[in-house]
Structure 1
Amino acid sequence: MPRPRRSDHFHVYVVLLADQVWNEPAYRKCNPDKDLLKPCLYVGMTGLDPDLRFDRHMAGVQANRFVLKYGVRLLPELYEAYNPMPYAAAQEMEVELAIALREAGYGVWQA
């Protein structure tokens, strides 16, 4: 396996959100085709380790409001295969992953 370059330190990550996020009108509006049997998620990208970024969300540091209020845990099985990567690739992958998960029936917030 090739060794990552210094610039390849960006990550996409997925956070499981508590079901109560579904009561938020903005979240519901962005997910009209959500399968009610699938969980609600947040998809983001970071230059930090995803575990550290999640901790920062939960501490209210540059936190997404849905993650701060409803964040449960990371779901590495949905993102680990993509990391690490360069900044531009992470930006693109964040959008692509959110779209793919939404198409699979998940509720997704991606900011």
Structure 2
Amino acid sequence: MPRHHHHVYVIELSRRVLAEPRFLRANPHYLGDKPCVYVGMTGQSPDIRFDKHKAGLKANRFVKEYGLRLMPELYECFNPMPYEAAREMEVELAIGLREDGYAVWQA
């Protein structure tokens, strides 16, 4: 049986990201009471992936510029998982967080 090594992860973004028109357009119903976050998936550990975003390696611009910290309380219970499950969970987690009032970027 193959070892599952894919992870979903959530990164808190600075509220300064709300000055970005693309981010605002993706979150038209955001009320401002929950954090702004980025949701991603990776074959690496979330810690390593966060460091790579911040270093500009295959980075999402919003994470590179506004990423503050990982939010393991929102994703640890799902990891690790197979690749296809991680791809699906990334989308489901982003949708769920947006429904819970978070401003979400998921690419």
Q: 2:9 aligns with which of 6, 13, 27?
A: 13
- Give how far 1:35 is off: 2.1
Measured in 1, the distance between the counterparts of 2:83 and 2:26 equals 26
Question: What is the 5 A alignment of 1:1-111?
Answer: 5-6=2-3, 8-111=4-107
Q: Structure 1 stretches (4+) deviating beyond 4 angstroms?
A: none
Aligned-residue CA RMSD in angstroms?
1.0
- Give how far 1:101 is off: 0.2
SS at match of 2:40: strand
SS at match of 2:87: helix
Q: Deviations over 1:5-59 (max 9, x none)?
A: 41x1000000000000000000000001112111100000000000000000000
Amino acid at match of 1:87: Y
Structure 2: gaps spanning 5 or more residues: none
Measured in 2, the distance between the counterparts of 1:71 and 1:50 equals 13
Measured in 1, the distance between the counterparts of 2:98 and 2:33 equals 13
Question: TM-score, with normalisation over the residues of structure 1?
Answer: 0.94
Aligned-pair identity (%): 63
